[in-house]
């Protein structure tokens, strides 16, 4: 059964007491102000759609970071799905977006990140300020292969209560009541099962797009002509109905061996399609651009340039018939570009050759090069329907936009700038907040990480250099000498880790590694900064006492351990084997470890943390519970204070107290959120609210210099920080 849930975004919430928790006290909501730590964009943007009704209104969908609305007055992208909590995190995947063509206030979002999770159609009548959530029986995969195709969700412009959705695994679906209920289109020849046979879950693309042709039907009547694309290679990849979806047939004469990634219908009845030999965003090695004349059934190959790449993004200039633009995809040898035509594809001009670019909003997008590439994974392309000069496209890291796109016609350069203000789409792996120098250092997927001296500015130096890691998997600093910071991750061969002696201002790579291909895993530094322990991915842990010049095996410590340092005693290190419940302890600077039973065996990604300023004070998240030890892990007591804990972090103590504030994410007494405790976990206050949930949250840490400030890492909404509302 399809479930309908009314969910309000942007509503004024009252902060009231919730049920009693813990040993003696109760948890209450405390108002917090939440802001993003500014990086500006940072992830793949698979779709951008302008409202065809209201000038200056656009929507951008992310594969793991939800959906945003462009607010022209504020010149800012506003996130629309931050209300999604850990339990509804799958809705942060933007599979497709459809603004209503007649009512600019109405918006529909197909929300589902992975095909094995719950998916929904989000219905809004106020441009995404509030939503109805309609859970649907078909799966989605906003972060799976083919996530840039589309749009999969489309609205009949003749009767806007009718919507069609081209699903990955479950065939074609329709709604005739503005997405309140959905029915599988029985007459469509692909049910979905054959597209999934023998394929890995995330590689199933299924159907790729829906396009309504409103001609031949009066307003208020269902459109007779509907086109649906297929996103996997087959003899037939484009179907058409001429009787409002009752029957379907292959479109005669269509290209073979290619799949339609994007398609749009011009006002003169010409259907334009961008093709690849795969749905992307990777592994597209051939492609083409075609136009299909829906009036006489003729096909014309209008491909701008052939090569070892495909075509993906496509957008029609709604001010001029026969004018459109397309993007290449996976054109790795020459770099992707945008081609523009004003004569229906007879001639094309490239925007990439003479483009001038301003990346000051996101200095990191150069990725260490003198200037940023024009783009890659360029699935998303949109020409403003009210302004032919305003064009934007998405990449694997950001959105670029120009206001002089027609300069191409006269051979003049186009000027592009990062159009990502408000978008934060990084996947956060680790965070530290040292007691001096920069307030925050981050470890991120795909773009390494940053040192933030100013949380409101994308760092001018870009992401962490020397070595430049694509993904940083672990960070630590020396508690008693916090200018020393270490990091490891995924880098070039022989360059997977490094250290700083000045709080992250400059970095040096380790001059040796345990093995030639050692990478990733976890790293810890002793309280005095003299010992590093590195547990590389799928390797035995090692330690170094010379800043990574040499490495020695740690005796008695298991492979893939997550070692941590005591924050007072430089000789003590700890690691927890969560599967067995054993704690491993070193008292000789990591040279050797001994183990003992500490907690019951468990599973999952659990965390052990050592409290600053108190030797042997450990906190453990394990099997969803929260444990505390004051004797260096000799014994652990479980705090019966909540239902499920995900993370634990420490911040500056409350006024008139000397024990650090605790921060966690999880579920306490049935309430999801982010929480703070000022009394060693005896009681908790919820510091998030219904508007600010951010999907998957982990890690969570406090600031040692500012009481009440908490930093959270998300998987798709970047790094955020919260301060008590004043």
- Report the distance separating Cα 148 and Cα 283, nearest Å: 13
List, in sequence order, the alpha helices (H) in 394-485. none
- Report the distance separating Cα 17 and Cα 276, nearest Å: 56
DSSP string, 39-62: --B-S---EEEE-SSSTTEEEEE-
| CA-to-CA dists, residue 124 to 63, 100, 106, 372, 574, angstroms | 20, 10, 5, 37, 50
Which pLDDT does position 7 carry in this prediction? 39
Evaluate if residue 287 carries a pLDDT over 60. yes
Distance of CA 386 to the CA centre of its chain: 30
In a domain, 600, yes or no: no
What is the arithmetic mean of pLDDT over 486-513? Answer: 95
In a domain, 54, yes or no: yes
Backbone angles phi, psi at 193, to 5 degrees: -65, -40
Tell me if the bond preceding 419 is cis, omega within 30° of 0: no
Evaluate if residue 723 carries a pLDDT over 60. yes
Backbone angles phi, psi at 400, to 5 degrees: -110, 145
97-111, 180-194, 597-611, 638-652: range with highest mean pLDDT: 97-111
pLDDT-derived band at 27 (thresholds 50, 70, 90) equals low
CB 531 within 8 A of CB 589: yes
Q: Which domain covers residue 180, as residue numbers?
A: 40-389
Polymer length of the chain: 726
Closest of 393, 259, 400, 418 to residue 339, by C-alpha: 393
Q: Which residues pair with 702 in a beta bridge?
A: 710
DSSP string, 654-693: PTT--SPEEEEEEEETTEEEEEEESSTTSS-EE--BTTB-
In a domain, 574, yes or no: no
Closest of 407, 418, 390 to residue 58, by C-alpha: 390
- Report the distance separating Cα 265 and Cα 249, nearest Å: 19
In a domain, 438, yes or no: no
In a domain, 341, yes or no: yes
Q: For residue 387, what is the DSSP state?
A: -
CB 568 within 8 A of CB 615: yes
CB 590 within 8 A of CB 554: yes
Which pLDDT does position 199 carry in this prediction? 63
pLDDT-derived band at 210 (thresholds 50, 70, 90) equals very high
What is the arithmetic mean of pLDDT over 284-288? Answer: 98
- Report the distance separating Cα 380 and Cα 565, nearest Å: 45
Percentage of the chain lying above the pLDDT 70 cut = 95
- Report the distance separating Cα 223 and Cα 243, nearest Å: 8
What does the pLDDT look like over 512-552, one tens digit per residue? 999 989 999 999 999 999 999 999 999 999 999 999 999 99
Positive or negative, the CA dihedral 428, 433, 436, 439 is: positive
What is the arithmetic mean of pLDDT over 15-35? Answer: 55
Lowest mean per-residue pLDDT among 13-17, 381-385, 503-507: 13-17
Question: Residue 193 sits in a domain of what CATH number?
Answer: 2.130.10.10
Q: Which residues pair with 76 in a beta bridge?
A: 71
- 252 Rama sector, left if φ>0, alpha if ψ -120 to 50, beta otherwise: beta
Evaluate if residue 1 carries a pLDDT over 50. no
Q: Which residues pair with 490 in a beta bridge?
A: 471
Which pLDDT does position 16 carry in this prediction? 26
- Report the distance separating Cα 525 and Cα 544, nearest Å: 10
Q: Catalytic residue positions?
A: 63, 446
Which pLDDT does position 494 carry in this prediction? 81
CB 122 within 8 A of CB 129: no
What is the arithmetic mean of pLDDT over 17-27? Answer: 33
Evaluate if residue 217 carries a pLDDT over 80. yes
- Report the distance separating Cα 66 and Cα 61, nearest Å: 6
CB 206 within 8 A of CB 195: yes
For the chain, what is the domain count?
A: 1
pLDDT-derived band at 491 (thresholds 50, 70, 90) equals confident
What is the arithmetic mean of pLDDT over 337-354? Answer: 95
CB 72 within 8 A of CB 57: yes
In a domain, 396, yes or no: no
Evaluate if residue 11 carries a pLDDT over 80. no
Tokens of 483: 């200018």
In a domain, 626, yes or no: no
Evaluate if residue 726 carries a pLDDT over 90. no
Burial degree of 379 (CB within 10 A; 0-12, 13-18, 19+): buried
The helix/strand/coil state of 690 is coil
Percentage of the chain lying above the pLDDT 90 cut = 90
- Report the distance separating Cα 150 and Cα 53, nearest Å: 20
In a domain, 17, yes or no: no
Evaluate if residue 671 carries a pLDDT over 70. yes
Cα angle: 704, vertex 707, 708; to 5 degrees: 115
Q: Mean pLDDT, the chain, as a whole number? A: 93
- Report the distance separating Cα 86 and Cα 425, nearest Å: 17
Lowest mean per-residue pLDDT among 198-202, 304-308, 409-413, 643-647: 198-202
């Amino acid at each position: 059964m399809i479930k309908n849930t009314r969910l309000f975004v942007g509503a004024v919430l009252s902060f009231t007491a919730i049920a009693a928790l813990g040993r003696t006290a109760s948890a209450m909501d405390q108002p917090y102000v939440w802001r993003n730590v500014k990086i500006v964009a940072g992830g793949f943007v698979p779709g951008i759609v302008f409202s065809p009704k209201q000038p200056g209104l656009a929507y951008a969908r992310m594969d793991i970071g939800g959906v945003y609305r462009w607010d022209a007055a504020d010149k800012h992208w506003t996130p629309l799905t931050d209300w999604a909590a850990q339990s509804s995190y799958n809705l942060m995947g933007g599979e497709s977006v459809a603004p209503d063509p007649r009512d600019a206030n109405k918006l529909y979002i197909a929300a589902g990140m992975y095909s094995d999770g719950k998916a929904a159609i989000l219905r809004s009548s106020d441009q995404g300020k509030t939503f109805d959530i309609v859970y649907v029986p078909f799966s989605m995969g906003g972060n799976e292969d083919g996530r840039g195709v589309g749009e999969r969700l489309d609205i009949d412009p003749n009767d806007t209560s009718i919507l069609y959705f081209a699903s990955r695994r479950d065939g074609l679906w329709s709604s005739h009541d503005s997405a309140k209920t959905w029915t599988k289109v029985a007459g469509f020849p692909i049910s979905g099962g054959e597209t999934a046979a023998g394929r890995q879950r995330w590689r199933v693309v299924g159907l790729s797009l829906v396009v309504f042709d409103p001609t031949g039907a009066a307003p208020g009547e269902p459109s007779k002509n509907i086109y649906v694309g297929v996103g996997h290679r087959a003899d037939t990849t484009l179907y058409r109905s001429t009787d409002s979806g009752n029957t379907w047939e292959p479109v005669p004469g269509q290209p073979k061996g290619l799949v339609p990634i994007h398609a749009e219908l011009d006002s003169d009845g010409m259907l334009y399609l961008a093709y690849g030999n795969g749905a992307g965003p990777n592994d597209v090695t051939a492609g083409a651009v075609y136009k299909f004349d829906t009036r006489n059934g003729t096909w014309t190959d209008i491909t701008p340039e052939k090569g070892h790449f495909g075509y993906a993004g496509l957008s029609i200039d709604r001010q001029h018939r026969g004018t459109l633009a397309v993007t290449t995809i996976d054109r790795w040898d020459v770099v992707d570009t945008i081609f523009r035509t004003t004569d229906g594809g007879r001639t094309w001009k490239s925007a990439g050759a003479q483009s001038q670019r301003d990346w000051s909003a996101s200095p990191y997008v150069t990725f260490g090069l003198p200037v940023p590439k024009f783009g890659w994974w360029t699935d998303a392309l949109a020409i403003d329907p009210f302004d032919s000069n305003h064009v934007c496209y998405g990449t694997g890291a950001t959105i670029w936009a120009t206001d002089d796109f027609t300069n191409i016609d006269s051979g003049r350069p186009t000027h592009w700038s990062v159009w990502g203000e408000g978008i934060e789409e990084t996947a956060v792996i680790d965070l530290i907040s040292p007691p001096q120098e920069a307030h925050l250092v981050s470890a991120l997927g795909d773009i390494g990480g940053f040192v933030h001296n100013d949380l409101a500015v994308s760092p001018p130096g870009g992401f962490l250099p020397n070595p430049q890691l694509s993904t940083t998997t672990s960070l630590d600093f020396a508690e008693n000498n916090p200018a020393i910071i270490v990091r490891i991750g995924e880098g070039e061969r022989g360059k997977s880790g490094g250290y700083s002696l000045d709080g992250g201002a400059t970095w040096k790579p380790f001059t040796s590694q345990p093995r030639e291909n050692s990478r990733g895993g976890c790293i810890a530094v002793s309280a005095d900064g003299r010992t590093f322990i590195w547990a590389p991915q799928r390797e035995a842990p090692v330690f170094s006492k010379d800043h990574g010049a040499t490495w020695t095996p740690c005796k008695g410590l298991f492979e893939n351990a997550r070692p941590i340092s005591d924050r007072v005693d430089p000789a003590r290190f700890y690691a927890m084997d969560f599967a067995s419940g054993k704690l491993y302890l070193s008292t000789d600077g990591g040279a050797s470890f001994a183990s003992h039973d500490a907690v019951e065996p468990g599973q999952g990604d659990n965390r052990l943390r050592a409290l600053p300023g108190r030797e042997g004070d450990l906190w453990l998240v394990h099997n969803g519970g929260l444990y505390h030890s004051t004797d260096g892990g000799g014994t652990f007591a479980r705090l019966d204070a909540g239902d499920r804990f995900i993370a634990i972090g420490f911040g500056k103590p409350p006024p008139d107290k000397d024990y650090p504030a605790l921060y966690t994410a999880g579920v306490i007494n049935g309430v999801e959120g982010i929480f703070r405790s000022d009394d060693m976990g005896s009681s908790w206050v919820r510091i998030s609210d219904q508007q600010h949930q951010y999907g998957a949250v982990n890690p969570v840490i406090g600031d040692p210099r500012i009481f009440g400030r908490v930093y959270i890492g998300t998987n798709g909404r970047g790094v955020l920080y919260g301060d008590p509302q004043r």
